[in-house]
């Protein structure tokens, strides 16, 4: 297992290195020169041109600039915002908690609703399956921003049960503020996970060892826990891991719908304001989070089924 994890870690580091190169090169893929991209169509004063040139080292060769930037990133220096006039790391530190809380709450909702309803659809009567399948189809076909607007209209403005924007004052108040955004962010993913869970549970129920356990008179609950759900965890974990990773990107939309001051809304503003140091840093952090989540999923595989690591060695 140790060698398997080391190989996976090496692969992840390579992915991060390639990603950092792509993120850094985004500025150079934009139309015109990188300097013109940062300054915008109106250009800037000679002092602004000199300041931007010095900050981004535009006078140096491309690879020199890249490795200098990468070295700064490794040391925790994410650059300086030309719009907010402060370090990007400080700018992000006050917002990353909002995005992390939103994604975490959404992940909990997805796991509970997706696995719960998917298992019910597989084990209960046909009408339960029909209801769950219908709701899953609706959830999958509805964009998160549409769900968000509907939730605001009904539960925020109409009924007044939940606040419609902002993150509150902390603690329980923040949790209440994040409920509607988390639901909006999790609906489609929970619907997809419910489908996967239903298919995985049905597949495991048809296996010979499950049929044998049923014939021997084991309680239905014991069979589901020990034989069905445990073996169905691998595809469920796969989808759950990918889902959580995609939530990080989906948060960009939801944060703007609910006016949450997180990384997603910061990224949108930075793109509109051509604050490229912020754009680079936020994208890199989101990609790192995506990679870390997938690494955790890989590690969980080896716990759920050690044969995965064993098979990789063979």
pLDDT tens for residues 149-207? 898 988 888 888 888 887 777 778 888 888 899 999 988 888 888 888 888 877 776 66
The predicted pLDDT at position 310 comes to 44
Q: Taking a C-beta distance cutoff of 8 angstroms, is the pair 1, 306 a contact?
A: yes
Question: Per-residue pLDDT tens for 46-82?
Answer: 777 777 777 777 777 878 888 888 888 888 888 878 7
Q: Taking a C-beta distance cutoff of 8 angstroms, is the pair 211, 171 a contact?
A: no
The predicted pLDDT at position 182 comes to 92
Whole-number percent of the chain with pLDDT over 90: 2
Query: Which tokens is 156 given?
Result: 């925020």
Query: Which tokens is 73 given?
Result: 């990133």
Higher pLDDT, 298 or 116: 116
Instruction: Show the domains of the chain with their CATH numbers.
Output: 98-306 (1.10.3720.10)
Residue 217 has pLDDT above 70, yes or no: no
Distance of CA 300 to the CA centre of its chain: 18
Query: Which tokens is 228 given?
Result: 């069905």
Confidence grade of residue 227 (pLDDT, cut at 50, 70, 90): low
Confidence (pTM): 0.77
- Alpha-carbon distance of 69 to 79, in angstroms, equals 8
Confidence grade of residue 304 (pLDDT, cut at 50, 70, 90): low
Query: Which tokens is 165 given?
Result: 């924007």
Nearest to 279 by CA among 288, 291, 287, 267: 267
Helix axes 144-151, 230-257, angle to 10 degrees: 70
The predicted pLDDT at position 3 comes to 67
Higher pLDDT, 31 or 99: 99
Residue 226 has pLDDT above 70, yes or no: no
The predicted pLDDT at position 312 comes to 47
- What mean pLDDT is predicted for residues 270-295? 81
């Amino acid at each position: 297992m140790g060698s398997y994890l080391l190989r996976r870690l090496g692969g992840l580091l390579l992915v991060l290195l390639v990603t950092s190169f792509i993120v850094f090169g985004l500025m150079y893929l934009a139309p015109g020169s990188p300097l013109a991209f940062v300054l915008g169509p109106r250009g800037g004063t000679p002092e602004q041109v000199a300041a931007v040139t010095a900050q981004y080292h535009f006078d140096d060769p491309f690879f020199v600039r890249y490795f200098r930037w990468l070295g700064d990133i490794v040391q925790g220096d994410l650059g300086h915002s030309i719009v907010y006039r402060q370090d990007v790391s400080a700018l992000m530190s006050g917002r990353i908690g909002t995005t992390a809380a939103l994604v975490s709450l959404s992940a909990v909702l997805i796991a509970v609703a997706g696995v719960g309803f998917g298992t019910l659809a597989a084990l209960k009567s046909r009408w339960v399956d029909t209801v769950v399948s219908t709701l899953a189809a609706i959830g999958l076909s509805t964009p998160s921003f549409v769900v968000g607007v509907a939730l605001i209209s009904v539960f925020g403005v109409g009924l007044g049960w939940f606040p419609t924007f902002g993150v509150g004052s902390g603690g329980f108040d923040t949790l209440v503020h994040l409920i509607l955004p988390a639901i909006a962010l999790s609906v489609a993913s929970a619907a997809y996970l419910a489908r996967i869970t239903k298919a995985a549970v049905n597949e495991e129920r048809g296996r010979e060892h499950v049929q044998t356990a049923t014939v021997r008179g084991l309680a239905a609950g014991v069979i589901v826990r020990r034989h069905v759900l445990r073996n169905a965890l691998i595809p469920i974990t796969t989808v759950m891991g990918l889902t959580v990773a995609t939530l990080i990107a989906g948060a960009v939309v939801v944060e703007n719908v609910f006016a949450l001051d997180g990384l997603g809304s910061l990224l949108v503003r930075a793109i509109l304001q051509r604050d490229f140091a912020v754009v680079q840093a936020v994208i890199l952090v989101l990609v790192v989070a995506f990679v870390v989540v997938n690494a955790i999923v890989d590690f969980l595989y080896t716990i759920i089924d050690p044969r995965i690591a064993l098979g990789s060695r063979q």
